[in-house]
Structure 1
Amino acid sequence: MRHNRSLQKRLGVGLTLGATLLWLLGVAASGLVAQHEMNEVFDSALEETAQRILPLAVTDILNRETATGSRTAPALKEHDEYLTYVVRDRQGALLLQSHDADPDVFAALPREGFTDTPTHRIYGASAVSDTIYIEVAEPLAHRREAALEAGLALLAPLFILIPVSLFGIWWVLRLSLRPVVEFQQSIESRGASDLSPVNQDGLPEEFEPTAVAVNRLLERLNRALDAERSFTANSAHELRTPLATALAKVQRLKTQLEDQHLRKNVVEIEEALRSLSTLSGKLLELAKAEGGGALSQSPHNLVPILAMIARDFESRTPDRIRLTLPEGEVQSLLDPDVFAILIRNLIENALKHGDKQQPVDVSLTGAGILRVCNGGDIVPPDQLALLRNRFSRYDTKAAGSGLGLAIADAIASGSGMTLHLRSPASGRADGFEAEVNVTHAGGNSGPCT
């Protein structure tokens, strides 16, 4: 599964790794240059040492009483020599050596110039018509140690510079991308019904076209939704009066008919007109639910509203409503009229589609959790997800428009709440349950009691 990462994190990690890599490459290049320069200095020191010692060694050898035999140059005090030398004749016979010199380091026959062995760098020079040779040797380990110390000296400042540069990169990125993050948060934090333009002030030039396109899309979407809501509301409103008139005339006609066959037909027409009138009312409620006016400016106590609506249903359907209310108040920013539409649709849905022999449980807790639960057959999960859609109904013989749960879901979404539908109901083996936390309306985190 592909996981998207934030632009700020990508740039931060990328620039951090890039800067660190460039620092390390710079140190490596500097170390190589320093090592090359140090090798030149060491070679020059070998050559200079040979050139200075050779005349003294020649004088010492020529002034000996016997020209044969070797001699070790005395040391003023014991010390480790980085540079050791031997003086030999053309055949390789040892004439003079430094006090710490190892003859096995040198080749059998002396040579002029620079040569390398697995352990030493050697420089040779000759005098007296190439009859006396001096060879000065330096351990390669000494050079490696010097190169390592130089590299560490170059690397040490990075332990301070790299964290400082990384902090600087993250700080600059955070400061530069702050308008982009605010733009992102302004889109994420708005509710589904908030189609107002997003603020594009301070955005980088690269993101301005995105903000303009988003605002244009929101404007077009808002116009389209307004047109749809207006059409729905106006159509339903305009239908109410002629429907009421037609229903009244049909009812009067029914009382005047004596023919049972005609009377039956008129009754069917009456029921059709009642259904159409109910549908127009539901369409008006749906338009109000989707109109973005689900929230009020100040919180209201919803407990008495729920009690009043429950009593109204109880008078029409005795012994079907089982109401449970909290002892204290439940404050919510949900508009009282909108809450009334919400609870009426949930209770109507439970009464119509639930088991007629079982009561409908309506409860509101002190934490603001509203539950409407009824008995009945279990709704399959695939059908449960479709019940939020308009005109969607599960396999049932009960009359209805299929808009009740769509209206409730529109109210919940438009006010920042979530409508949970469950089947079977919580704590039961059958039935259906609708649950919503009314204190979440408008982004509240809890009840005010």
Structure 2
Amino acid sequence: MTQASTWVLRRRLLRNVLLAVAGGWVATVGVGIFALYHEMAETLDSTMETDAGLVLRLLENNDSATVAQWIDTQPDNEDQLLRIYQADMPVPPAPWPPLAEDGLHRAEGWLVLRRSSGSGVVEIGQSLGWRLEEIIEAAQAFLLLIVPLLLLVTWAIVMTLRAGLSPVFGFTEGVRRRSPEDLSALPVAGLPQELRIMAEALNGYLKRIGDLRQAERAFIANAAHELRTPLAVIRSRLQLLAEDAAEAPTVPEIMSSVDTLSRRVERLLQLERAESGIGLARQRVDLVALVRLVCREMGVRARTIVFDDDDQERYLIDSDPDALAIILRNLLDNALEHGADGVSIRLVQDGRLVIRNPVSARPDFRTERFSKAHGSGGAGLGLDIVQRLCADLRIPVQFSATDTIAQVELRLGQALDFEENTGTMPAAART
């Protein structure tokens, strides 16, 4: 596989800018020379008109019979000739043929102006080659004036690009010198807007990496904290069993300790999945089937759970089935552990899933991590996991309680799939 060719931003910018300046300069010079050509041609034509008029007036103010027929060549200049003669006399020889009409004429490499009156005929000729040489000399002078300006502009462009791109090199060097452990935000002060956008995007990326690493460290710390106690309990019980002590635990007691450890591990894994953004993977989910599946997975404990599906065979939403299952399992575990008698689940057609259970006293919903009521056998993670996953799935969750009833309400209406649901469309969606 061939390696992609690399390019340097400064060189490309310099090349493109200089090409644009050079192109503009060439166009300006071309237009300038074109305008100079026309202006010089008009000036030379006007000079010829003036000279011809002056000679005719001189002829008219003198006796035309005394005017000889002659050709006047300007001293040291064979490119401008003057021919004067009377109309009824033979035409003196010249580089151009005789002309019958007044005006400007091009003939045999000459531009000739003919003017006549009763006193005679005046013809002034200028070599086209000489006129072209004059225009070239003027264009050369024009170019000599522009070239220093072009060099000055080039130098200014190079210096400006170097100064403008210096923050890029400084920013790159700062990133290169960073240690792998440094995930702090990159400084954006003094950066141009285009580079500031890239720096802010990198800062967002670094923040996400830092959050993931922090979540990883927190998970390890949480695991060490939560697994220490149940492992110590299991070890002590096994040790008593091995010593055949009188107070040695029974197998069901050991199994209970193992179940407690399993629930702690499950909660920690759920917490890790919640912090890793599981709720971003959405697909079509049948909520009725999902609730029934979660209840079946809870085994014997699900015997006290009553599910009211409002006579709906299915209820489709767009969400993450794994995340929803974790939410439901944690809410049901919390209700079964802290409730007085049974749990009811009701699925309302407007997209609300309501979980209720009777309580002996008004509960205090503890959503902070590792915060749990006195005497609770849980890990203090369930409601924290619920809130994190609901935030990822953008599901509003509401906790409410009285002295006898605790209730949790999940509002899933925004995730409904109305085209596939066989139930009645919610009134809010019909309006």
TM-score band w.r.t. shorter chain: 0.3 to 0.5
